[in-house]
Structure 1
């Protein structure tokens, strides 16, 4: 099936900024559940399995993202939009199975759907299972890659699926929301909006906002940070205590804010105590749906934003919540693609350290945590739903026991903050002593000019691509102004010349001339450049 956008000679739409991030991130880890979400939609209607398969096909026909893959064309990541796709739907009959067995079988099916990898070049990037439970009850399990689906998409899919099924049962046409634009049009619009003038405005805001940003947090580690990232992760999860769940809404009204701000403020307080720093920096996902045209859309629109909170002066809980809310609001009008932010706010980047932030927070109300993950992008991620909380952590940095204690401290601290809003930050600290090796500081390295033939060749390609001389083989590609798509083009040139297979994951682990030259020599398959 040909790319619909290519018919008539038009160029395919560019990947959106969110798709770019998902595409690159998926190449840094080989753990499918990290980039796949599995939603479960209950359906109660007098239908047959074929009706639900047809409903999913209608959703795919309406929403371009559900017929889209990603491919590189001339060094540019583009959307491969198909006119139609075969609906990858499995039908499972559990109507004759007891309730306990149904729950276990659905759990196993969810995990199987999550762990089966997607090929991002082969749409559709979703799959589903229609499960018959008996007496008009159904469960639709819907698994999709983050390159085409996000949290807001799940609400849209559920609403449309419910309406399609109701219409089928009532013998009428479904009343579905109008889609003002396609996802491809959205991707073109967001790039058109980032004009040179707007880019300069955003750059000025963020350079001021992130001036003096610490290159790495000071939370104590269980072992020294390795010079290259492994992306190997694990998680610890627990139920959100009932007293915390019941207190959140009342406490939010008391503080004049949303429950998520209280959950975030509790995490900020914990990180202050674990790090000893008054300057707390976090990665925070934002929905990316400020335009009305994007509200009914199914697709990836989430962006990562850097949140910076000053907690100096031992504020009380009420003041801390106010500072967190003010920090969130201060940046809402200055949303920009995270990868562009990394390019604009260049700074020191110690080896093995993710840029700008290494600690993250995510809140997915109504969401499901899904299968345990075995990879991570940040050092620590606090991830909450309405009733569960987990910490995803880098196993190269932290022991499980440390993270279990951290999660316990967060839940205790949060309960105290909700019950006693006059409590000072200093009184919210963990009851245990914080131990660890602390962040390892990179020792200064003397500049080393490219010396081998391979290093000189890599430096020459970087110079042509970035417009700057490389005088030190330990200089970071991204600190020199490079970005991810330029890295892709550069790797394509050098791997072809050396007949070597060097992955993005390998390059991102050590994005220097020395690191890439070593990888090229190691993977060289006997050819001559």
Structure 2
């Protein structure tokens, strides 16, 4: 963990604002990743104690100005069983980064257990290099072209998706909610893939079109916007970096004129490809450009998302250990 902390400058980033001028500073490589240890082996209520520790961990804030913005907890349940919590602030990491972290942690663990040196090749660039390049690249005519696309694509969009609800929208968002799993079986998945091939769409585009159709039927609106997270890692040099690269695209789907399935898929395909060609402009800048009506009770531009995760969850391959994700917790343990 200390080696990973030293390797990735994003993990060592802190965010300060002297005289109200925000800037990023990097902690020294030898600062170390903080890990606390908890021994529950003598406790009769180990599961309850573990639950308390997990809740304490998720409620403990980070200090953006002091850092580190990543921390771990090792919980000893018995001589043979341990639970490891790793918590990161989203400002320094994203979903793709978790795959990088797990792979590199596994490589380091296997090497160090065998008494070998660090096997990881040096990183060609660091996250601050990418940030500096992005500011330079996304400027001038290129910036104007991206801004103009989103200004035109989202001009006149409805301010809110009017879904029927069982209670009034609160005056301010609370983000309290729950999840309802929906499983698409093998047969339906096969049919969706076949339909996608027939119409020249990806499976994502087909599911997006179907989701839009459902939302249109529920809301009675034929003009709606769906938010879609984008990994935003279009350059090979940054694929092996830990850091926050993800962006959000506001995809406007047109269901006017009672389109057929074929027509809706074609509209969705065109919208998706155009948005991906202009995905470099950060979403917060898109909001500033479009200037939708703002209110505390809903997010601007869209209130519904489709997050397409077409990669397997991270898995550890550590010699001498059996590692699995703990049920009901987001952290890898």
Structures share fold, TM-score greater than 0.5: yes
Classify the secondary structure of the residue corresponding to 1:330.
Answer: helix
The Cα of 1:141 is off from its aligned counterpart by 2.2
In structure 2, C-alpha distance between the alignment counterparts of 1:109 and 1:240, rounded to whole Å: 30
The Cα of 1:318 is off from its aligned counterpart by 5.9
Partner of 1:128: 72
Partner of 2:17: 72
Partner of 1:83: 28
Query: Structure 1-normalised TM-score?
Result: 0.52
Stretches of structure 2 that go unaligned for 5 or more consecutive residues are: 315-326, 329-333
In structure 1, C-alpha distance between the alignment counterparts of 2:74 and 2:167, rounded to whole Å: 46
Partner of 1:361: 306
The answer as to whether partners of 2:172 and 2:296 remain within 8 angstroms in 1 is no
Q: Deviations 1:352-405 (Å, cap 9, x if unpaired)? A: 55322232233445469xxxxxxxxxxxxxxxxxx99xxxxxxxxxxxxxxxxx
In structure 2, C-alpha distance between the alignment counterparts of 1:325 and 1:195, rounded to whole Å: 28
In structure 2, C-alpha distance between the alignment counterparts of 1:252 and 1:177, rounded to whole Å: 41
Aligned runs of 1:410-449 on 2, under 5 Å?
A: none
Aligned runs of 1:258-297 on 2, under 5 Å?
A: 259-297=203-241
Alignment length, in residue pairs?
Answer: 309
The answer as to whether partners of 1:113 and 1:127 remain within 8 angstroms in 2 is no
Classify the secondary structure of the residue corresponding to 1:236.
Answer: coil
In structure 2, C-alpha distance between the alignment counterparts of 1:132 and 1:316, rounded to whole Å: 58
The answer as to whether partners of 1:177 and 1:296 remain within 8 angstroms in 2 is no
Partner of 1:231: 173
Partner of 2:249: 305
In structure 1, C-alpha distance between the alignment counterparts of 2:95 and 2:270, rounded to whole Å: 24
Partner of 1:165: 109
In structure 1, C-alpha distance between the alignment counterparts of 2:48 and 2:207, rounded to whole Å: 31
The Cα of 1:92 is off from its aligned counterpart by 4.2
In structure 2, C-alpha distance between the alignment counterparts of 1:363 and 1:134, rounded to whole Å: 38
Classify the secondary structure of the residue corresponding to 2:176.
Answer: strand
Partner of 2:6: 61
Q: Name the CA shift for 1:132/1:329 in 2 (closer, same or farther; >3 Å).
A: farther
Once superposed, what is the RMSD of the aligned Cα atoms? 3.3
Partner of 1:346: 291
Q: Deviations 1:82-112 (Å, cap 9, x if unpaired)? A: 11434221234567999xx877765554443
Structure exhibiting the larger radius of gyration computed from Cα positions: 1
The answer as to whether partners of 1:70 and 1:78 remain within 8 angstroms in 2 is yes
Q: Name the CA shift for 1:319/1:132 in 2 (closer, same or farther; >3 Å).
A: farther
The answer as to whether partners of 1:252 and 1:258 remain within 8 angstroms in 2 is no
Matched, 1:205 2:145: no
Query: Structure 2-normalised TM-score?
Result: 0.79
The answer as to whether partners of 1:131 and 1:140 remain within 8 angstroms in 2 is yes
The Cα of 1:58 is off from its aligned counterpart by 0.7
The Cα of 1:176 is off from its aligned counterpart by 1.8
Q: Name the CA shift for 1:157/1:251 in 2 (closer, same or farther; >3 Å).
A: farther
In structure 1, C-alpha distance between the alignment counterparts of 2:52 and 2:262, rounded to whole Å: 44
Q: Name the CA shift for 1:251/1:132 in 2 (closer, same or farther; >3 Å).
A: farther
The answer as to whether partners of 1:248 and 1:259 remain within 8 angstroms in 2 is no
In structure 2, C-alpha distance between the alignment counterparts of 1:265 and 1:122, rounded to whole Å: 45
In structure 2, C-alpha distance between the alignment counterparts of 1:113 and 1:93, rounded to whole Å: 16
In structure 2, C-alpha distance between the alignment counterparts of 1:329 and 1:144, rounded to whole Å: 32
Q: Deviations 1:261-303 (Å, cap 9, x if unpaired)? A: 4543443222111210111202221112112221111111111
Q: Name the CA shift for 1:109/1:267 in 2 (closer, same or farther; >3 Å).
A: farther
Q: Structure with the greater relative contact order (CA < 8 A, sep ≥ 6): 1 or 2?
A: 2
Q: Name the CA shift for 1:248/1:173 in 2 (closer, same or farther; >3 Å).
A: farther
Q: Name the CA shift for 1:76/1:270 in 2 (closer, same or farther; >3 Å).
A: farther
Classify the secondary structure of the residue corresponding to 2:178.
Answer: strand
